[in-house]
Amino acid sequence: MPTHDTTRLIAFADTLADAARDAILPYFRAKHSITNKLDDGRFDPVTDADQAAERAMLALIEREFPDHGVLGEEYGERASKSGYQWILDPIDGTRAFISGLPTWGVLIGLYYEDRPLIGVMDQPFTQERYRGWMDGANATTRGGTQAIKTRACVSLKDATFSTTSPDLFEGYEARAWANVQREAKLVRYGLDCYAYSMIAAGHVDGVLESNLKPFDIAALIPIITGAGGGVCAWDGGDASQGGRVLAYGDARARDAALNLLQ
């Protein structure tokens, strides 16, 4: 892998997060429009805030790094001319956002040749920011003044696990989640990207999800990995493109969970 200007790229990711924060906050717990992306009876909302935040970030990337690619949840993909690709989810947890709950976040990931490099999760309302990078494996809170670290977890009987909703699992997935839920000490629901950040900060031990898109996980892999944990697929393989994902703080909890997922 080539040498990356990590300092500059992290600083720019912070600039993107600042711009998204400014675009989103006027809409939170305030009047905004909600559109359902689906027409099959299910509900997949997008708001003015999602769109405004992604537009603000796209404009900055075009100005500062015009040869970088982009994959955004709201405005799709632009091919990279340099190997770098920004992967943006302007509001991960839109359902929480429209409900006035502060468990959503802005996700900003940077891949180089399809591999995770840098990640930022920003929660504008609570003013929390989690940052991580694979080059040197570090994770910090905003400004880099406080390093974060996953906590030890010897077994699932000591573990706190999370998933967005058990209703999203069907068939084999539902049975696999039931196995993990039965073994874990504590389970929490509905936290979206916030639960992953709590793994990195040492408060949660694992997250189990399925049917994720790249923009749901790209930013979170460097944060958790930089803090000493990891993210893998349910078969133990690569999770950088989404799908069935297991995030963990301790490899022992990972191994125990993987045994229950097979």
pLDDT at residue 19 is higher than 90: yes
**Six-digit token string for 201:** 């900060």
The CATH number of the structural domain formed by 6-144 is 3.30.540.10
Report pLDDT for 140.
Answer: 81
Rounded-to-integer distance, Cα 199 and Cα 78, Å: 31
**Six-digit token string for 203:** 């408060």
C-alpha angle with apex 236: 235 to 241, nearest 5 degrees? 90
Mean pLDDT confidence for 152-170: 95
Rounded-to-integer distance, Cα 101 and Cα 107, Å: 17
pLDDT at residue 204 is higher than 80: yes
Which range, of 56-70, 123-137, 151-165, 172-186, averages the lowest pLDDT? 123-137
The CATH 3.30.540.10 portion of the chain extends over 6-144
Report pLDDT for 141.
Answer: 81
**Four-residue CA torsion sign, 232, 235, 236, 241:** negative
pLDDT at residue 1 is higher than 60: no
pLDDT digits (tens, 9 = 90+) for 40-93: 767 668 899 999 999 999 999 999 999 999 999 999 899 999 999 999 999 999
Report pLDDT for 31.
Answer: 85
Report pLDDT for 32.
Answer: 84
Mean pLDDT confidence for 109-135: 95
pLDDT digits (tens, 9 = 90+) for 219-252: 999 999 999 999 999 999 999 999 999 999 999 9
Report pLDDT for 2.
Answer: 66
The CATH 3.40.190.80 portion of the chain extends over 156-261
Cβ atoms within 10 Å of 41's Cβ, excluding its own: 6
**Six-digit token string for 143:** 């400004």
Confidence of residue 142 (pLDDT cuts 50, 70, 90): low
Report pLDDT for 39.
Answer: 67
Q: Which helix (H) or strand (E) holds 178?
A: helix 172-183
Closest by Cα among 147, 110, 79 to 15? 110
Report pLDDT for 172.
Answer: 94
Q: Which fold has domain 156-261?
A: D-Maltodextrin-Binding Protein; domain 2 (3.40.190)
Report pLDDT for 38.
Answer: 61
Closest by Cα among 163, 184, 166, 178 to 247? 163
Judge whether 161 and 208 are in contact, CB under 8 Å. Answer: yes
For the chain, give the mean pLDDT.
Answer: 93
**Six-digit token string for 116:** 């995770």
The percentage of the chain sitting over the pLDDT mark of 90, rounded to a whole number, equals: 85
Report pLDDT for 13.
Answer: 97
The percentage of the chain sitting over the pLDDT mark of 70, rounded to a whole number, equals: 94
Closest by Cα among 192, 167, 36, 201 to 103? 192
pTM: 0.94
Cβ atoms within 10 Å of 146's Cβ, excluding its own: 10
